[in-house]
């Protein structure tokens, strides 16, 4: 789990290879984004401090960045 640095968003990962972002308002806590991360077994994911990207650690020794604005995945290592 990871909280967005400026928005009331909560990021969570799941075994179905999706990152989900929920808007936490204490009433509905609605789903804002469901991001498909195909062919990657996610260990953990965190919002970066600027809040525009998500750092993803995969089971293989790999790091990825998901750009929320561009909706694209970039492999770092």
pLDDT value for 36: 84
Q: Tell me the two tokens of residue 52.
A: 């525009």
Query: For residue range 5-51, what is the model confidence (pLDDT) as tens digits?
Result: 999 999 999 888 889 999 999 999 999 999 888 888 888 999 999 99
H/E element holding 73?
strand 72-75
Q: Tell me the two tokens of residue 77.
A: 């290592």
Q: In whole angstroms, give the CA distance from residue 5 to residue 49.
A: 6
pTM: 0.86
Q: Tell me the two tokens of residue 14.
A: 């799941």
**Radius of gyration of the chain from its Cα atoms, rounded to whole angstroms:** 12
């Amino acid at each position: 789990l990871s909280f967005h640095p400026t928005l009331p968003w909560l990021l969570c990962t799941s075994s179905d290879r999706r990152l989900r972002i929920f808007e936490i308002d204490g009433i509905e806590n609605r789903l804002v984004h469901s991001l498909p991360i195909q062919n990657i077994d996610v260990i953990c994911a965190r919002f970066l401090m600027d809040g525009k990207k998500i750092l993803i650690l995969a089971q293989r020794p790999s790091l990825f960045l998901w750009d929320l604005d561009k909706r694209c995945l970039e492999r770092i290592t």
